[in-house]
Amino acid sequence: MEFGFLETDSQIFVWVILPLLIFFSRIADQSIGTLRLIFVSKGYKYLAPFLGFFEVIIWLIAVGQIFKQLDNFLYYIAYGAGFAAGNFVGILLEEKISLGTVVVRIIPKLDTTELINYLRSQNYGLTIMDAEGSRGKVKVILSIIPRKQIGDFVSIINKYNPRAFYSIEEVKSVSYGVFKKKERNSIFHSLAAGARKGK
């Protein structure tokens, strides 16, 4: 009877617990991997290798379990599902962290006076240029802001110049300039800023 219980427990471990462990391990390592690639693209050359170490360790553990049971199809399903879910989780984490800087380019279709005055009153740095569009003279407004401020910035555009055309592009690095100070006292921001030094 005891032997039967042991066999049942072993089957549960092989067919339920291990596939779940592989699935969650793959989510963890792929989430870390997605963040690592994002950090590499943004120039965080010290933080990216640190994450890469843990990514590979977790990956080796998951793959090692699969090689022990090559005939268990659930391991392959768990591995693939964890990989897919890990990409999704990694992107969500990056969006929540909102690292990096972007340049917002605005081409208003209405009078820009209120928009410019309000943005300046909120301490956003602006560069304003006269340009020629397909329908005549236009203003081009440029501003470089942290990614986490995109939502606030776009809401201001929609409020004071709702028909304005704007585009948002990633910026790898910036030096000098006028930047709106906001939410820069977090522990993670300090870590990330330190990791980025030495570029």
Note the pLDDT of residue 11: 81
Question: Interior CA angle at 175 toward 173 and 180, to 5°?
Answer: 95
pLDDT at position 62? 84
Q: Show pLDDT as tens, one digit a residue, over the chain (199 residues).
A: 444 444 556 888 888 888 899 899 999 999 999 888 888 877 788 888 999 999 999 988 888 877 877 788 888 899 999 999 999 998 888 878 877 788 999 998 888 899 999 999 999 999 999 888 777 888 899 999 988 899 999 999 999 998 899 999 988 766 655 666 654 444 344 444 444 444 4
The pLDDT, as a whole number, for residue 179 is 63
Give the tokens for residue 193. Answer: 């800023």
The Cα–Cα gap between 191 and 171 comes to 20
140 forms beta bridges with: 129
Neighbours of 68 (CB within 10 A): 11
Question: What pLDDT does residue 161 have?
Answer: 92
H or E, element range at 167: strand 165-171
Judging by DSSP bridges, how do beta strands 101-107 and 127-133 pair with one another?
unpaired
Write down the pLDDT at residue 195. Answer: 47
Edge-to-edge, what's the strand order for the sheet holding 101-107?
Answer: 127-133, 136-146, 101-107, 165-171
What number of other Cβ atoms are within 10 A of residue 43's Cβ?
Answer: 15
Distances (CA, A) of 20 to 12, 23, 29, 68: 11, 5, 14, 16
User: 20 forms bridges with which residues in the sheet?
Assistant: none
pTM above 0.75, yes or no: no
Phi-psi sector, 45: left (phi>0), alpha (psi -120 to 50), beta: alpha
